[in-house]
């Protein structure tokens, strides 16, 4: 690779080779040929002027692609699709006259895009499943491990580490299900003609509309689709590009939330992303262990999140049956979406599979605040023993504020001692069970395990991709 020309850093540094190959010029050209071959097959089957020998010649030449020759022809024609048609015809001369019969450029570009998008979605879904299962293992391991809950980023009731991580997990699972649903209902553009009227195919089929419908249905089957768009202009409705981007963006949003929480937890020393023995945290401060992978996740997720609005603008600005101002934008943004999300999920898996918990710091943070967590239980116990709720509340409040001031000064939380020394409250404190953190996590652990057993366990088993190692 030349180091003297700009290279997309998402592809160069982060995305998998598989996703890069899928959106490469060569794979795009091969997919175009798949669409042309499928067209020739269904036309031959329908009795249109296409022979079986011509179909076989197209099939034989399918992988003989010289992109330099295509570029040479395009410099003359100023038309990328026609350049590919001419080159294909050079390699399959007996079939040259029937390549692209009855269709417009968007027939091959749009149908091929939809084929590629579906393949890319399948790759993303598998990577997402891998990340889900890795995070699920962490949730199960930490299901009943208490930790300080935080609302407004301030200490609140205790939860468990597994329960907090299960919130990240649930967002990812919901995003996965939405992706699958979107892919399964993604239609093929089909045979719609230059303005979507199918006028050319109506002519080729002798005015037989039912024959046109059958032709389109057969084409969808050849390309692995079970439905086509009911209506199109020249292109498939570009709002579907925005729908696609939105579903991919949901994954990025879910990962960003998880990565943000991990960054905060690592700043307090409670949870830490994986860190290699030779890794450098800072060029100036050798002691640093920065959450660089989670930070990278947030950066790439924000990149993905910026793309959906642009594709919405694209869809909104398609004039009448079509304009060509969508082409350049789609070539850049849609592959960019998939490459970035591919990278996000590879990094996510690396982080989720290597998350560590520092129990000493976790317990120190709990011990600092646990007496405050017991205050509500103390109040309820005092009332049940015949005490005045408002009087008890005021006594507890005064001691709690004094204890808080001590904690702010860096001292150990003195609240329990203050309560035990209080004449009114000491009998109530003595009646309470031991102040074990586990008693204050509610159903957090059980909720986590139930979600893992009843929801995550029902998801398909992913195919291993062996891509947990990062490029950088």
Catalytic residues: 152, 282
Tokens representing 437 are 């953190």
Is the CB of residue 87 less than 8 Å from the CB of residue 70?
yes
Mapped onto helix, strand or coil, the DSSP state of residue 209 is: helix
Tokens representing 20 are 């890069």
C-alpha gyration radius of the chain: 31
Q: H/E element holding 348?
A: helix 327-353
Q: H/E element holding 155?
A: strand 154-160
Measured from the Cβ of residue 91, the count of other Cβ atoms closer than 10 Å reads: 19
Tokens representing 311 are 């594709």
End-to-end distance of the chain based on CA atoms, in angstroms?
Answer: 17
Report the C-alpha gap between 54 and 286 in whole angstroms: 68
Which are the contacts of 137, defined by CB distance < 8 A and separation ≥ 6? 353
Measured from the Cβ of residue 155, the count of other Cβ atoms closer than 10 Å reads: 19
Tokens representing 230 are 């009911």
DSSP-derived secondary structure letter, 281:
S
Q: Give, in degrees to the nearest 5, the angle at Cα 296 between 281 and 282.
A: 15
Could you tell me which of 129, 165, 158 has the C-alpha nearest to residue 451?
Answer: 165
Place of tokens 């009448």: 320
Is the CB of residue 163 less than 8 Å from the CB of residue 444?
yes
DSSP-derived secondary structure letter, 98:
G
Is the CB of residue 130 less than 8 Å from the CB of residue 465?
yes
Report the C-alpha gap between 450 and 439 in whole angstroms: 19
Helix, strand, coil share (%) of the chain residues, nearest 5: 65, 5, 30
Residues in the chain: 472
User: Using CA of residue 449, residue 451, residue 452, residue 453, what is the dihedral sign?
Assistant: positive
Q: Give, in degrees to the nearest 5, the angle at Cα 206 between 96 and 211.
A: 85
Helices (H), ranges, 92-194 = 105-141, 161-184
């Amino acid at each position: 690779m030349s180091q003297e020309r700009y290279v997309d850093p998402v592809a160069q540094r982060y995305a998998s080779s598989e996703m890069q190959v899928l959106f490469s010029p060569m794979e795009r050209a091969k997919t175009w040929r798949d669409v042309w071959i499928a067209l020739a097959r269904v036309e031959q089957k329908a009795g249109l002027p296409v022979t079986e020998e011509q179909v076989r010649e197209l099939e034989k030449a399918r992988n003989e692609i010289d992109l330099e020759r295509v570029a040479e022809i395009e410099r003359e024609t100023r038309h990328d699709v026609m350049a590919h048609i001419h080159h294909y015809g050079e390699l399959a001369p007996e079939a040259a006259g029937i390549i692209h019969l009855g269709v417009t450029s968007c027939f091959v570009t749009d149908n091929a895009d939809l084929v590629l998008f579906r393949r890319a979605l399948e790759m993303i879904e598998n990577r997402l499943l891998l990340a889900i299962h890795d995070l699920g293992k962490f949730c199960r391991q930490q299901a009943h491990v208490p930790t300080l809950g935080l609302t407004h980023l301030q200490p609140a009731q205790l939860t468990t580490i597994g329960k907090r991580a299960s919130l990240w997990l649930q967002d990812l699972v919901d995003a996965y299900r939405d992706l699958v649903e979107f892919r399964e209902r993604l239609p093929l553009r089909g045979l719609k003609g230059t303005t979507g009227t199918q006028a050319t195919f109506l002519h080729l089929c002798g005015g037989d509309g039912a024959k046109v419908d059958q032709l389109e249905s057969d084409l969808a089957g050849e390309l692995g689709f079970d439905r086509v768009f009911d209506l199109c202009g020249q292109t498939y409705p570009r709002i579907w590009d925005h729908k696609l981007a939105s579903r991919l963006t949901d994954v990025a949003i879910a990962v960003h939330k998880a990565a943000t929480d991990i960054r905060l937890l690592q700043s307090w020393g409670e949870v830490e992303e994986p860190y290699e023995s030779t890794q450098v945290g800072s060029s100036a401060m050798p002691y640093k262990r920065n959450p660089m992978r989670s930070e990278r996740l947030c950066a790439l997720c924000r990149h993905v999140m910026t793309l959906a609005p642009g594709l919405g603008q694209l869809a909104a600005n398609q004039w009448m049956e079509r304009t060509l101002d969508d082409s350049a934008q789609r070539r850049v943004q849609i592959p960019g979406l998939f490459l970035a999300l591919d990278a996000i999920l590879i990094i996510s898996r690396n982080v989720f599979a290597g998350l560590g918990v520092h129990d000493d710091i976790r317990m120190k943070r709990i011990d600092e605040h646990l007496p405050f967590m017991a205050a509500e239980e103390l109040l309820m116990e005092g009332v049940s023993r015949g005490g005045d709720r408002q009087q008890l509340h005021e006594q507890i409040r005064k001691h709690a504020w004094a204890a808080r001031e001590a904690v702010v000064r860096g001292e150990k939380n003195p609240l329990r001692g203050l309560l035990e020394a209080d004449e009114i409250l000491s009998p109530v404190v003595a009646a309470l069970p031991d102040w074990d953190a586990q008693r204050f996590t509610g159903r957090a652990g059980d909720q986590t395990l139930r979600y893992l057993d009843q929801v995550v366990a029902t998801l398909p088993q992913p195919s291993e991709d062996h891509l947990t190692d990062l490029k950088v």
